[in-house]
Chains A and B, each alone.
Chain A
Amino acid sequence: MTIRFVLNGEPVEMDARPDERFVDLLRDRLGLPGAKVGCGIGRCGSCTVIIDDVAMNGCLLPAYKLEGRRITTVEGLGSLPEGRAVILAFSEGNAFQCGYCAPGFTVAMTALLMREDVPDEADIREALGGHVCRCTGYHSILRAAADAAVRCQKDD
């Protein structure tokens, strides 16, 4: 089927099988390998993308669901003020180690800041609670996420 959507601000029209996973389209056909596949069943969050302002697992999105959607991947976060705040805070805080989970966390945290102006720790824990990080034990991420929330307010 032919699907049309807006990806990181650019219109995309492509042929795809309707059951093709969005994360595979990104990685194998659209040249955007930022989203990672850690489990393929929605249990690690590494493939998270923003669809119409909310975070979703790219491995659970079949192509037919993309029609007409506005999609932001990790590669497009720099165009969002929330995304820039998260990138800065996660970088300066050395939030990650191997980094394979980093795009998913970054996207999810950006989506949270788009929804909540002043997220508290519980909001952050809930928004990031579906993401596996095997390296850090999560605290470096939580510290940096709290910093991102503060930065985002300052930037307003």
Chain B
Amino acid sequence: MKKSLVAPQIWHPEEVSEAWSLLKRFGKAARVLAGGTAVQLDWAAGAPVPEHWIDLNRLDDLRGVTELADGGIWIGALTSLSALRHGALIGKKLPMLCDAVGRVGSAGIRNLATLGGNVASGSGCIIPALLALDAEVELFTAKGLVRRNLRALLSSSLTPMEGVVLVAIVVPARLPAKTCFEKMGLRRAFTPSVINAAAGLWFDGAGNVVKARLAIGGGITPPQRLSAAEHSLIGIPLSALDWTSLKRDMLGEMRVPSDAFRSAEYRRNVAANAIIAGLGGGVALDAVAGKASAHCFASIPAFVPVPYSEVEVSRAAMSERWRMRPDVTAKVEGAFTYLTDIRKPDMLVGRVLRAGYPHARILGIDTSEAEALPGVHAVVTHRDVKGLNGYGIVIPDQPAFCADKVRYVGDAVAAIAAESEEIAERALALIRVDYEVLPIVDDAERALAPDAPLVHESGNLLADLGLERGKVDEAFARAAHIVEDVYVTPRQMHAFMETEGGYAEPTPEGGLLVCVAGQHGYRDRMQLARILDVDEECIRIVSSPSGGAFGGKDELTVQPALALLALKAGRPVRLQLDRWESVLAGTKRQPMRIRMRTACDAEGYLIAQEVDAIADGGAYASLGASVVETALEHVTGAYRIPNVRSRGRLAYTNNGFGGAFRGFGCNEMLFAVESQIGRLAEKAGLDPVSFRVRNLRQPGDMGYLGQVVAPSDRGRETLAAAAASDLWARERGVSADGRKVIGVGLAVALQGSGLGSAIGDSGAARLSLAADGKIEAAFGAEEIGQGVLALIQESVARVLGCERDDVRPVIGDTAKTVDSGSTTASRMTYVVWRSASETGPELSAKLLAAAAKEMGKQSEELAIGAGGIYDARRNVPDVPLLSFAALAQSLGEAERPSAECGFAFPISHGTVEGNARFLHCHSAVLARVAVDRVTGMVEVLDLDQHTAAGPVMDVANYSGQIEGGGVQGLGFTLTEDTLIEGGTFTSRNFDSYMVPMIADAPANMRVFAMEELDAGDPYGPRGVGELGISAVSPAVAAAVADAVGIWVVEAPFSPEKILIRTGGMSAPAE
């Protein structure tokens, strides 16, 4: 709830008449509230909050459902939606209404929200259902209690509920014999309404329609009855109905608006389609089935035996290896402390003033009024930055606080530390900033035009990378098949559940403690020290744990503001962005347009690939250029293609700012590459497996950039496993009810790990015996949810031979760890495993030597086991001869063993043309989808990932990364895009940015792994933080193509475009 500056007056009428009188008395300054769920969304979006709130909750008479004497059903306006949803009477008598209610909000919201609120809002999702039931309403008005037909009421005025109190909804006794209701949304459930449609039909004894109610509404669509279409149904049986003309009639009279999410045309068509499908008219569309079956390939050949066995990575299949995460119970109990949870008595609250303009020159900043406000302890601007006013992992071009101009709406201009949220909010409004608005550039291609406004003086071209090899033009000239298209990828938002935040405080020693979740505490410290112009040692960074990151906390976020505020105020300051500010200010995945032209010869061998990609980097460099570089590293995917020309450009624009996001360019590029492969296979007359088999890279091949790569290439084996999957044999084609078309698709990924050959990349760790007998494992690593704590325990315990619980990970704190590098790029699995391998034997030897000395034995007689030191010749595990704790106690602090390591992350040697990865992992992904012919929406039924990344160190971590990455990939593919228009975000929160919910996750997901490495492969487990997202989009695209015969090239997939291409709506006139 957004709070106004003045507290509202709350009224609790005991009678309806009293509520009505209050409403009359205060007029527009009052608002009736029941559940208060919908109105709070309006207020959060900026609608004015009224002074008087009339709470109806004491009107118990307005609650409940009763059957009236005439058989009608009376539903009190205050009846909660969940009471309706789970109530026996509604479930039995009005199942359509029960269904409609269940499509509103979530379970938690339905417990608060009321039917009256839904109806009185005038735009509620349930209204069309009530119109289809010909419902009436009871109102308290100047004339007392009156009953009106709902439709008549809604059409009587633009504000039919003004000055009246809704008492009840009454569904008349004579119910329609046939009903339907459908809510069309932006995702499968818990979604804003795109449009809702409902119908009710009454018949005579001969089966002719005698009365019809067809209705639409929901979201931005005003409730409407389709009277002309209703009339056309009267007097005939449904069997004689011309559905095509009914659709035409309905389309003709619907008055429906458009918005940034869906067009009016789409809304009208899906509403009409839904009513027709719901009334049994099927999908009265152009026949789609033929197209689908033409593209279904009958069978997939099992082409090679699988030399490496595959395991299903699950608790059920690997129960003996299943371990609980050390942090999970505290998380589930709500006892786990995040850095944004800390409150201290003298702590101030920080807020940041954002630019609000996508591009403007700063003429002046006046903070004097804000500083003078009682309760304000610090106001900081660029004038407080003593060091470099800039940060950025590659190029520090992002100001901590803007001095001369702002380049995106979320740019930080000033910050405040105050005694309360309210004071901070007031103080923000008192900062005067004079701007001269500048022309913006909001498109990457236009940004590179010669006359484009400059985001930075250095020009808008941030990176221009490329590579050419072989004889590309010659190869295209002799090609048998060529596929060319432009693939578009979304401005995906990380949407970590814990928004950016934390706290900072000056330390008694004159230093600064900064506790903000990040992905590389040591680099955060370096960047912060550069801004503050202090020695790095003066700053202690606590950067873990984190409520999710996914790349979005790789760059600095709120650390500069917090640090400057805490130093200036001389007190602890906390600050956490709310979701809207996180959307506004935070980094995003850079949208890409990838033009790709791919050729094969008559036998289906790939011969040429040409790629021209352009990415929208937004206002600042961050890691953008590295993302483009990584995308270009994957232009041949997992294949041999001898002739390649690639180019990737990154442009500055005023569209937010882009940077790291799981996949880091690889999944964007693979969406294009794998789609091209699937389409070429079709052209060459080959099934998707056979085509890939003949083109896959072979073990021992050099990497794409000419680099030597690590052994254990499992491209063929993972593909073979996918080819042998039972998914191919499941139901495909048109579903039994005709509404959906089901298809299966395949895509493969080769995903690198590590930062690459061109940048320094190193790892380090320290193991030591702590005073309490725990083996302390110190890593400069962050727990971002991926499970690094479990990984550290497992890796160290394996090497030492002790139990996981004997190991205490110490992470995410520059005062207690060593710099292990960034928790990014799927690199930490290797770093931890390698560190344990390097330090473990040394620590082990030291522990045994110390124990031997203490026990008067030889080291060789002893061995490490659970909890301590054992006799090396013991047969059964038992109590240790000397526990770790006893050993630690017997030693002085200086005598307690420890071991440290530092090493370079493995990189490629040889002739490398760019930034090349050495370690890789593989996946072959199968998606089975159902395309809804009514809505054009894609539902993912199955998602199987056959992976190979070396040994599985922790079962839950591994399956969690692949499943979680998979669903994030589905979001990228189907629902997620941060909408921005003219540099200003249309997406503001989770009501306008569609992350997948439970209903959007695949019904079934399976994760498989091939753990075995090649003999002599010394590189251990590869990280899978990104593998799970790598090949999901093209697998879904291939499945859609299998189902309905079209390849969708823009993500997120537009249901509108799919519907047009599959005959569910006509293409809009040009």
Contacts and interface: CB of A to CB of B under 8 A. Distances in A.
Interface stretch (B107-115, B646-654, B930-938): B107-115
A interface, size bucket: 35 or more
A17 B1 CA distance: 12
Given A17-B7, A44-B990, A138 B579 contact: no
A94 B989 contact: no
B787 A42 contact: no
A21 B1 contact: yes
Contact of A87 (B1, B333, B496): B333
Contacts of B1: 19, 21, 40, 59-60, 62
Q: Which of A40, A101, A127 has the most CB of B within 10 A?
A: A40
A130 interface: yes
Contacts of B189: 129
A108 interface: yes
B332 A137 contact: no
Contacts of B546: 98
Nearest to A90: B332
Given A62-B1, A77-B333, A134 B550 contact: yes
Interface string B986-1026: 00011100011111010001000000000000000000000
A138 B784 CA distance: 17
A99 B997 contact: no
A69 to B, nearest CB: 11
B949 to A, nearest CB: 18
Contacts of A21: 1, 3
Interface string A58-77: 01111011000000011101
Interface residues of B, number: 80
B146 to A, nearest CB: 29
Interface in B850-876: none
A12 interface: no
B107 A43 contact: no
Interface string B97-110: 00000100111110
A132 B995 contact: yes
A44 B109 CA distance: 11
A96 to B, nearest CB: 6
Contacts of A155: none
A21 B421 CA distance: 13
A135 B960 contact: yes
B27 interface: no
Contacts of A135: 548, 785, 960, 964
Interface in B109-129: 109, 111-112
Contact of A18 (B7, B336, B547): B7
A129 to B, nearest CB: 5
Contacts of B343: 27-28, 31, 33
A127 B550 CA distance: 27
Contacts of B786: 97
Nearest to B969: A137
Given A100-B547, A130-B109, A60 B998 contact: no
Interface string B10-46: 1000000000000000000000000011001100100
B787 A45 contact: no
B698 interface: no
B443 to A, nearest CB: 29
A19 B4 contact: yes
B40 A42 contact: yes
B111 A129 contact: no
B82 interface: yes
A98 B497 contact: yes
Contact of B190 (A51, A77, A130): A130
A20 B341 contact: no
28 contacts: A18-B7, A21-B3, A36-B497, A41-B990, A42-B105, A54-B111, A56-B112, A65-B36, A65-B55, A74-B333, A91-B329, A94-B322, A94-B324, A96-B331, A97-B785, A97-B786, A97-B964, A98-B498, A100-B496, A103-B334, A112-B107, A128-B107, A130-B997, A134-B550, A137-B965, A137-B996, A138-B997, A139-B1005
Q: Which 3 pairs, one residue from A and one from B, show the smallest C-beta to C-beta distance?
A: A130-B106, A34-B334, A98-B785
Interface of B: 1, 3-4, 7-8, 10, 36-37, 40-41, 44, 49, 53, 55, 57, 82, 86, 102, 105-109, 111-112, 189-190, 315, 322, 324-325, 327-329, 331-338, 341, 343, 494-499, 545-548, 550, 578-579, 784-787, 956, 959-960, 963-968, 989-991, 995-999, 1001, 1005
Given A34-B333, A41-B990, A97-B785, 18 more contacts: A20-B3, A21-B1, A38-B990, A40-B578, A40-B579, A42-B105, A43-B190, A43-B990, A44-B990, A87-B333, A98-B545, A101-B497, A134-B550, A135-B964, A137-B964, A138-B998, A140-B960, A143-B315
